[in-house]
């Protein structure tokens, strides 16, 4: 019995770490959606670009400067974030702005095309061979009452919580955040009220790119290899965002963690004790998603939006 | 009128050219043999799409520089099908009908090759060395099996060999397998189930979806099941994460892997967790001292092949090219597709290609049934067995 509890605790911890990665990608989806009502299907690819930029900064610095390891990873992180700022601004310029007056579908299609182009572009620049990233923590872990806590996983979880809280605060308590919400609700009225709509759009794309870069930096040591297909994880983060309530920032972390935990526990203990669970492992997440949406169509933390037509 | 004349003349010209080719087998002229290859140049396996044909061309160039096969040079056309079965069908159709290739070679992927079986049967065109290790390739009960000559030991056979080996080094071994839930894993399971029936043992089975990045559940189940030997039917990422996860949990079974895990990046990325990892391999190590690997490295040096390209996959293209050339030699001075098939079927434990010995005959296109085992010791991959069946 005791071992069942430790096993479950272990799986739940691992699931929370996995779910935190989903949450970070979902957060990117939600940020852009909240301000522009666009679903950015290239969010996973933004993460992939972040992971690659981080990898090359670390490689470059390692080769040339011989800085201590801690600094190296810190500079990798800072460098990727700086790159994300420029990249997010650029994406707003080439995708969001020219299509702003078109239907939302056009922009969504543009993000899907961008996802494909980014994959091709990265493999042209970096080569198609998967790369082996280093982990800032090596394989460090500690034992907490029989449960193995990996330092990397712990960092991922803390990172996700901090970022989600920061953006929650930003959106609900700061002038810029409220301006963003206003823009999403009615861009024309917001503009008339003096909200710099163009800057709001640019800012939100920059935020999404930063979140993506950070999740890329955190995911790559956990995934052991980085390749141009790692962006497909975005397709798993999307149901997390829906489950949590699309448009709700805390919903990202709730949805992400629920899905992550379900995934690891069903693959682990549940499959071990009930063999039939093995057969439905790959659909269990979707069963939960549909069940939740039947009870709460807006997701767990989503709020119903009423639109005047 | 003038235009009509032009059309008539060009049609006549084209049919004359066509007649010239048709006198012999398609794809064979006085001084050239044209072969068709379908690779993934822009899809998920594009990494291999460049490397495999480069390895093959390294050997074809060597043969061509030395007079070719019976005086004919080999020229290879590579089509892109993005590892996609439907696109592979289109590409193979193009190669057969438009390009009129003599034979097919190295078409990549299990499902893509499965999809072109009807085309092979229809055109009676042989496919030498499909680039997949699925055991279904050598299953003679499947359509068009008589046209396919696989060079790799099937995943099912590999799994059985690994189980035998585990039982040999430890008769009390409790064996588990963590497999990818697709065609590849299915084929591995087939071998596992055969071994279970044969040896009267039960193997614990855990699956994962392609692209999974978290294996805590599967590893814990292996630990709970008391597995002392765990076979990983993954590619590169999975063995790394599985072994790292196990290390963190203080669980240290003997990890073993099916041939796709035989990649130098496993030892590179898994670090101490990967120490002792045993993987099945279909060829001697490309950097070993055997004859073919030696020739391979010599030619690489001569042709200035970049170091990043050299390795097991490049060598795979190289060694399967040797198989094809040997087949073409055995097809005789006036090769036809039928003669190539008959020539291939004279291979009897032939080991000239720098891979495991190959045997084909009319009733059995199994080709290879052996692997060598490679173990990571101090971060370096070393062969620990000879060919074992």
DSSP chain A: -HHHHHHHHHHHHHHHHHHHHHHHHHHHHHHHHHHHS---TTHHHHHHHHHHHHHHHHHHHHHHT---HHHHHHHHHHHHHHHHHHHHHHHIIIIITTTTTS-HHHHHHHHHHHHHHHHHHHHHHH-SS-B-PPPTTTT-EEEETTEEEEHHHHHHHHHHHHHHHHHHHHHHHSHHHHHHHHHHH-HHHHHHTT--HHHHHHHHHHHHHHHHHHHHHHHHHHHSSB-GGGGGGHHHHHHHHHHH-TT-HHHHHHHHHHHHHHHHHIIIIIHHH-HHHHHHHHHHHHHHHHHHHHH-TT-SS--------
**Structural domains for chain A:** 2-295 (1.10.3470)
- Judge: A268–B47 Cβ closer than 8 Å, yes or no: no
For testing contact with chain B, the best of A225, A229, A276 (most B CBs within 10 A): A225
Structure confidence at residue B128 (pLDDT): 96
The CATH number assigned to the domain with range B155-281 reads 3.40.50.2300
Structure confidence at residue B5 (pLDDT): 56
Of A141, A224, A272, the CB nearest to B224: A272
pLDDT digit string (tens) for chain A, length 309 residues: 567 888 889 889 999 999 999 999 999 999 888 888 888 999 999 999 999 999 998 887 766 667 777 788 888 999 999 999 999 999 999 888 888 778 888 888 999 999 999 998 998 888 777 788 877 777 788 888 888 888 989 999 999 999 999 999 998 899 888 888 888 778 888 888 888 888 888 999 999 999 999 999 998 888 878 888 888 888 888 889 999 888 889 999 999 999 999 988 888 888 888 888 877 877 888 888 889 888 888 888 877 665 555
Identical fold between B24-153+288-367 and B155-281:
yes
Structure confidence at residue B123 (pLDDT): 92
Structure confidence at residue B37 (pLDDT): 97
**Tens digit of pLDDT for each residue in B217-235?**
899 999 989 999 999 999 8
Determine the distance in angstroms separating the CA of B196 from the nearest CA of chain A, rounded to an integer. 18
- The residue with greater pLDDT, B126 or B382, is B126
Q: Is the complex ipTM more than 0.85?
A: no
The domain locations on chain B are 24-153+288-367, 155-281
- CATH architecture for residues B24-153+288-367: 3-Layer(aba) Sandwich (3.40)
Chain B residues within an 8 Å CB radius of A229: 44, 211
Least confident range of A214-228, B9-23, B48-62, B259-273:
B9-23
Give the B window 21-80 contacts with A, CB below 8 Å: 42, 44, 46-47, 50
For testing contact with chain A, the best of B217, B246, B247 (most A CBs within 10 A): B217
Mean pLDDT value across residues B275-303: 88
Whether residue B194 is predicted with pLDDT greater than 50 in this model: the reply is: yes
The share of chain B scoring above pLDDT 70, in percent, equals 94
- The residue with greater pLDDT, A284 or B36, is B36
Whether residue B100 is predicted with pLDDT greater than 90 in this model: the reply is: yes
Structure confidence at residue A1 (pLDDT): 53
Flag whether residue A4 sits within 8 Å of chain B, measured between CB atoms.
no
Chain B residues within an 8 Å CB radius of A128: 46-47, 50
Whether residue B19 is predicted with pLDDT greater than 50 in this model: the reply is: no
Structure confidence at residue B16 (pLDDT): 47
Structure confidence at residue A267 (pLDDT): 84
Give the B window 170-229 contacts with A, CB below 8 Å: 181, 206-209, 211, 213-214, 216-218, 220-221, 224-225
- pTM of the predicted structure, to 2 decimals: 0.77
Of A11, A222, A271, the CB nearest to B213: A222
Chain A residues within an 8 Å CB radius of B271: 139
Of B213, B216, B244, the CB nearest to A11: B216
Chain B residues within an 8 Å CB radius of A10: 216, 220, 249
Q: Residue B23 — pLDDT band, cuts 50, 70, 90? A: very low
Whether residue B317 is predicted with pLDDT greater than 80 in this model: the reply is: yes
């Amino acid at each position: 019995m005791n071992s069942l509890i430790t096993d479950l605790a272990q799986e739940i911890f691992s699931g929370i770490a996995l779910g935190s990665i989903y949450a970070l990608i979902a957060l990117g989806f939600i940020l852009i959606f909240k301000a522009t009502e666009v679903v950015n299907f290239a969010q996973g690819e933004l993460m992939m670009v972040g992971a690659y930029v981080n990898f090359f900064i670390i490689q470059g610095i390692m080769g040339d400067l011989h800085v201590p390891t801690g600094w190296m990873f810190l500079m990798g992180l800072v460098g990727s974030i700086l790159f994300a700022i420029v990249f997010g601004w650029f994406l707003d310029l080439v995708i969001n702005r020219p299509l702003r007056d078109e239907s939302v579908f056009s922009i969504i299609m543009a993000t899907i095309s961008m996802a494909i182009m980014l994959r091709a572009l990265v493999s042209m620049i970096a080569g198609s061979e998967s790369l082996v990233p280093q982990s800032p923590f090596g394989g460090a872990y500690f034992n907490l009452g029989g449960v193995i806590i990996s330092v990397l996983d712990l960092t991922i979880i803390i990172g996700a919580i901090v970022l989600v809280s920061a953006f929650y605060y930003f959106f609900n308590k700061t002038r810029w955040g409220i301006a963003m919400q206003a823009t999403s609700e009615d861009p024309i009225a917001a503009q008339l009220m003096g909200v710099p709509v163009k800057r709001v759009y640019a800012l939100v794309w920059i935020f999404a790119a930063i979140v993506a870069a950070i999740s890329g930096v955190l995911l790559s040591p956990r995934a052991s290899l980085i390749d141009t297909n790692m962006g497909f994880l975005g397709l798993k983060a999307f149901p997390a965002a829906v489950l949590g309530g699309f448009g709700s920032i805390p919903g990202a972390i709730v949805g992400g963690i629920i899905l992550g935990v379900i995934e690891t526990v069903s693959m682990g203990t549940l499959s071990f004790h009930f063999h039939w669970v093995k057969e439905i492992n790959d659909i269990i997440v979707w069963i939960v998603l549909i069940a939740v949406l039947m009870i709460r169509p807006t997701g767990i933390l989503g709020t119903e939006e009423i639109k005047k037509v | 009128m003038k235009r009509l004349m032009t059309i008539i003349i060009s049609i006549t010209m084209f049919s004359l050219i066509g007649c010239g080719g048709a006198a012999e087998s398609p794809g064979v002229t006085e001084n050239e043999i044209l072969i068709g290859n379908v690779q993934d140049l822009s899809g998920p396996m594009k990494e291999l799409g460049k490397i495999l044909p480069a390895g093959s061309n390294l050997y074809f160039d060597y043969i061509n520089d030395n007079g070719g096969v019976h005086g004919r040079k080999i020229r290879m056309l590579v089509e892109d099908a993005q590892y996609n079965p439907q696109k592979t069908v289109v590409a193979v159709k193009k190669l057969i009908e438009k390009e009129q290739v003599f034979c097919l070679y190295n078409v990549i992927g299990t499902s893509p090759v499965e999809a072109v079986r009807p085309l092979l049967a229809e055109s009676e065109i042989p496919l030498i060395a499909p680039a997949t290790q699925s055991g279904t390739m050598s299953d003679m009960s499947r359509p068009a099996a008589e046209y396919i000559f696989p060079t790799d030991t099937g995943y099912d056979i590999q799994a059985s060999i690994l189980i035998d080996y585990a039982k040999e080094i430890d008769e009390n071994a409790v064996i588990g397998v963590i497999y990818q839930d697709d065609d590849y894993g299915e084929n591995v399971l087939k071998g596992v189930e055969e071994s279970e029936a044969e040896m009267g043992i039960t193997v614990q089975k855990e699956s994962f979806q392609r692209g999974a990045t978290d294996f805590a559940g599967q590893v814990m189940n292996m630990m709970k099941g008391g597995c002392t030997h765990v076979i990983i039917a993954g590619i590169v990422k999975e063995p790394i994460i599985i072994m790292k996860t196990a290390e963190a949990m203080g669980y240290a079974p003997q990890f073993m892997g099916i041939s796709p895990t035989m990649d130098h990046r496993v030892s590179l990325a898994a670090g101490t967790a990967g120490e002792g990892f045993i993987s099945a391999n279909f060829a001697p190590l490309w950097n070993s001292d055997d004859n073919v690997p030696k020739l391979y490295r010599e030619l690489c040096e001569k042709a200035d092949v970049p170091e990043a390209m050299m390795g097991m996959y490049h060598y795979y293209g190289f060694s399967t090219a040797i198989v094809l050339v040997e087949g073409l030699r055995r097809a005789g001075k006036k090769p036809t597709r039928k003669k190539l098939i008959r020539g291939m079927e004279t291979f009897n434990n032939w080991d000239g290609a720098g891979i495991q010995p190959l045997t084909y005959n009319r009733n059995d296109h199994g080709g290879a049934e052996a692997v060598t085992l490679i173990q990571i010791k101090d971060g370096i991959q070393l062969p620990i067995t000879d060919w074992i069946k």
